[in-house]
Structure 1
Amino acid sequence: MGDLLLTILLPISSLLISTYALFLWIIRILGFVRRIPNSAIILPPAAPGSLGDEAMVCASIDYLRQQGIENISLIDHLKNKTHPVEVIENINLSNFLSYQSWHKFIVSFIYAGWKINQYERLYCLGADMIDGYYSNYVTLRKVKIVEIASILGLSTGILGFSYNRQPTNISKKLLSGLPPKVILGARDKISYQRLIDSISHSVNLVADVAFLLKPAEQSQTLDKVWGWINNQKSQNKIVLGINIHPLLLKKLEGITGNDLVQILAETITKLHQDSQQLSFIFLPHDGRIVSGINDDILSKKVIESLPSEVASSCFKIPFPCLAREIKGIVKHIDCVLTGRMHLGIACLGQGTPIACITYQGKFEGLYQHFNLEPLFIEPKQLFVPNQNELVELVHKLIYQRQSLHEKVINKLDDIKELSQANFTSII
């Protein structure tokens, strides 16, 4: 859908929403619809596949249930595909969230309003989906669900989202046009300032809701992974976590997944040559396929590309697994090189220091929360000839790991309070 058409539709959609909301309000006042007590709806960032999204969903439900909000439902982006949580209802809005046709879209929107009218609260997990980076239409669909919930009288907000350095005009107009009582939570100081500068709506500084995720304490996956880690530790090895993903290639013209595999294989080989004390554990964090590959496939390809003596020091966790299991695993790893921000959040939430291969400008604010010197590298820097910037970054991470661990632990309680702030002004 073109930006010009979206711009034209914005005021029209708000008028239609207000009209439909008035009808739904009358229906409820007349007693045809009753609000479910202690209830909430959660709108995830996307369909299942990302453990980061799963972490936000599970953490939100954990926290809400602690506050006595037991009747929680989840909006599904795709039919019969949902996150691994127990809820009272899965609300299928696939025809609204994934546009098929005008007929299905309108029917799905009418259904959305009818279901939302039965609840007391609606929480949209913003993540990186609100600034228009992926598409303005993605942002519009989410914001309009929040808008109708607010007009219907639900307590509502967009939780813990980042805002990149070039948000689209559509995104800015959508957020500025939300009712004043909608709570907006920027998950880092940089995003907070960008929002303050870009929109005419109040904004709260929070931290990502995934910091509240409870780690798994027992599973077959954990037993297998912990067994390998303990074996490495018994040999006085330093265990370095590794994560790469295909989105790192998004803005690199002429660079393929095989090029990324080669760079990582060369880096790990060089690190192994520099220190026989290192072991490497690969941590896939997203199962969705992008251009024929995903985190898990890339991890396997890197290990296959290594010399046998280096590959013998490597281990890939069983995948797919749960976000809670990842958080249980990273507590026992010395440090992690990650391309996924929510893997970084899982690590920091357990006191494990990180270095990042960054994209979309999301990591700087995360480091600021912990008052840490940023340890990150842009994807394009990986492919500069005759440079070893990634190797140098990992060496710095390993050398500083103990001091970084202490700094993270000292700030962790404050960050969890900021994470809870996503909910305290809405509940």
Structure 2
Amino acid sequence: MSDLLLTIFLPISSLLISTYALLLWIIRIFGFVRRLPNSAIILPPAAPGSLGDEAMVCASIDYLRKQGIENISLIEHTNKETYPVDVIENIRLRNFFIYQTWYKFITSFLYAGWKVNQYERFYALGADVMDGYYSNYYTFKTVKIAEIASFMGCSTGILGFSCNRQPTNISKQLLSALPSSVGLNARDKISYQRLIDSIYHPVNLVADLGFLLKPAEQSDKLAKVLEWVNTQKSQNKIILGINIHILLLKNLEGITADDLVQVLAETITKLHQDNQQLSFIFLPHDRRKINEFNDDILSKKVIENLPPEVASSCFKIPFPCLTREIKGIVKHIDCVLTGRMHLGIACLGQGTPIACITYQGKFEGLYQHFNLEPLFIEPKKLFVPNQNDLVELVHKLIAQRQSLHEQVISKLDEVKELSQANFTSII
């Protein structure tokens, strides 16, 4: 559906949804549908593949079950994969999320409303999909499911989402038009202020749901990684985590994946020359491929482009793995350079300091939660000739790692309370 059609459809969509919600309410009142007690339905931000999305899903279910909400279902974006969680139902809504003819969209939306009517609570995990950056169409669909859930009397919230510098006009209209009973939860202070300035709806300041994730304590993959980590520590090595991904190249004209691999290989080589006590562990965090590349493939290519004496100081974690395993791993690493925000959240949640290759203005608000000086670099600066900005950033991270660790630990309980605030006002 084009942005023009969305703009035309917006004024009448709420009327149609409220009418359908009234019909569903009548059906429930007359006993044709019964709501599951202690129940919630969760809409993830995307199909499985990102360990960041997986962290939000797993953390949400952990927290809700701790509150006695046992009957939980997930809305699935695809018929092929499910998240690694135990739920009573995976509700298949592939036809709702793909681009399609209008009548298939209407049919799948009616089905979505019918299913939501069977639960007491509805939570959309907003992440980075609510400002229209990726798709106004997806933002529209998420908001409209939340709207019908609210009209039917469900406790409803859009949890832990960010807002970039320029949210689309359609996304602002959609969020502003939501009933006031729908909780809108911004996951950092910068996003909170951007939303306050651009929409007409109450907004709550929270922290990302990933801070509530429980790490894995044991698994075969975790044991394999910790064996390498412990060997490095026995040699008094400083262990630096590395994550890169292909989205860092978005909007960088003429820059290829090979260019990114070369820059990272040169950076790691220079870091090793400067300090041979460094060891490097590569931490892929998303298995989805874009232009034939994902985090794991890029990590392998970087290692292949290193001199043998540097490559011998490197280790790539077994992948794919679970998001809980990643969080269990990063506890034992000295510091991490990451391009993925949710890997950064896993690190900070374990007290491990981070530096970031930032994109879409994502990381600044995360640092503010911990009162930290931002340690980040924009992707375009990686490719400036004869500059060592990334090397200098990592040197700064390594030099300050102990004081950064102490600062993170001092603020962590407060940040976890903010993460719980995603639910406390709307459970």
- Report the TM-score when normalising by structure 1: 0.99
How much has 1:106 moved relative to structure 2? Answer: 1.6
* CA offset digits 1:72-123 (Å, max 9, x no partner): 0000000131110000001111111122322321211111011000000000
- The equivalent of 1:327 in structure 2 is 327
DSSP-derived class of the 1:103 partner: helix
How much has 1:169 moved relative to structure 2? Answer: 0.3
Residues in 1 aligned to 2:99 and 2:40: alpha-carbon distance in whole angstroms:
25
Amino acid at match of 2:297: I
* CA offset digits 1:381-415 (Å, max 9, x no partner): 00001000000000000000000000000000000
DSSP-derived class of the 1:412 partner: helix
DSSP-derived class of the 2:381 partner: helix
Residues in 1 aligned to 2:161 and 2:155: alpha-carbon distance in whole angstroms:
18
- The equivalent of 2:339 in structure 1 is 339
Residues in 1 aligned to 2:101 and 2:238: alpha-carbon distance in whole angstroms:
54
DSSP-derived class of the 2:247 partner: helix
Q: How does 1:220-299 map to 2 (within 5 A)?
A: 220-299=220-299
Deviates more, 1:98-107 or 1:385-394: 98-107
How much has 1:142 moved relative to structure 2? Answer: 0.6
User: Runs of 5+ in structure 2 lacking a partner?
Assistant: none
How much has 1:49 moved relative to structure 2? Answer: 0.2
* CA offset digits 1:295-354 (Å, max 9, x no partner): 000000000000000000000000000000000000000000000000000000000000
Amino acid at match of 1:363: F
Deviates more, 1:354-363 or 1:75-84: 75-84
Amino acid at match of 2:124: C
- The equivalent of 1:394 in structure 2 is 394
- The equivalent of 1:16 in structure 2 is 16
Residues in 1 aligned to 2:58 and 2:407: alpha-carbon distance in whole angstroms:
27
Residues in 2 aligned to 1:307 and 1:80: alpha-carbon distance in whole angstroms:
40
How much has 1:135 moved relative to structure 2? Answer: 1.1
Verify: 1:310 aligned to 2:326, yes or no.
no
Deviates more, 1:75-84 or 1:267-276: 75-84
Residues in 2 aligned to 1:45 and 1:7: alpha-carbon distance in whole angstroms:
23
DSSP-derived class of the 2:400 partner: helix
DSSP-derived class of the 1:290 partner: coil
Residues in 1 aligned to 2:404 and 2:379: alpha-carbon distance in whole angstroms:
23
* CA offset digits 1:184-237 (Å, max 9, x no partner): 000000000000000000000000011000000000000000000000000000
- The equivalent of 1:207 in structure 2 is 207
How much has 1:375 moved relative to structure 2? Answer: 0.0
Query: What RMSD, in angstroms, separates the aligned Cα atoms of the two structures?
Result: 0.6
Residues in 1 aligned to 2:253 and 2:13: alpha-carbon distance in whole angstroms:
38
- The equivalent of 2:5 in structure 1 is 5
User: Runs of 5+ in structure 1 lacking a partner?
Assistant: none
Residues in 2 aligned to 1:422 and 1:11: alpha-carbon distance in whole angstroms:
29
Amino acid at match of 1:122: F
- The equivalent of 2:30 in structure 1 is 30
Amino acid at match of 1:272: H
- The equivalent of 2:81 in structure 1 is 81
Residues in 2 aligned to 1:55 and 1:286: alpha-carbon distance in whole angstroms:
12
Residues in 2 aligned to 1:268 and 1:138: alpha-carbon distance in whole angstroms:
38
Amino acid at match of 2:178: L
- Aligned residue pair count: 427
Q: Percent identity?
A: 82
Amino acid at match of 1:82: T
Residues in 2 aligned to 1:80 and 1:276: alpha-carbon distance in whole angstroms:
45
DSSP-derived class of the 1:345 partner: helix
Moved over 2 A (4+): 99-104
- The equivalent of 1:383 in structure 2 is 383
Amino acid at match of 1:274: D
- The equivalent of 1:360 in structure 2 is 360
- The equivalent of 1:175 in structure 2 is 175
Residues in 2 aligned to 1:159 and 1:247: alpha-carbon distance in whole angstroms:
24
Amino acid at match of 1:394: V
How much has 1:3 moved relative to structure 2? Answer: 1.7
Residues in 1 aligned to 2:79 and 2:168: alpha-carbon distance in whole angstroms:
30
How much has 1:16 moved relative to structure 2? Answer: 1.1
Residues in 2 aligned to 1:332 and 1:384: alpha-carbon distance in whole angstroms:
33
Deviates more, 1:169-178 or 1:90-99: 90-99
Amino acid at match of 2:262: Q
* CA offset digits 1:260-310 (Å, max 9, x no partner): 000000000000000000000000000000111000000000000000000
Residues in 2 aligned to 1:51 and 1:168: alpha-carbon distance in whole angstroms:
26
Residues in 2 aligned to 1:256 and 1:77: alpha-carbon distance in whole angstroms:
30
Residues in 1 aligned to 2:129 and 2:274: alpha-carbon distance in whole angstroms:
40
- The equivalent of 2:133 in structure 1 is 133
How much has 1:12 moved relative to structure 2? Answer: 1.7
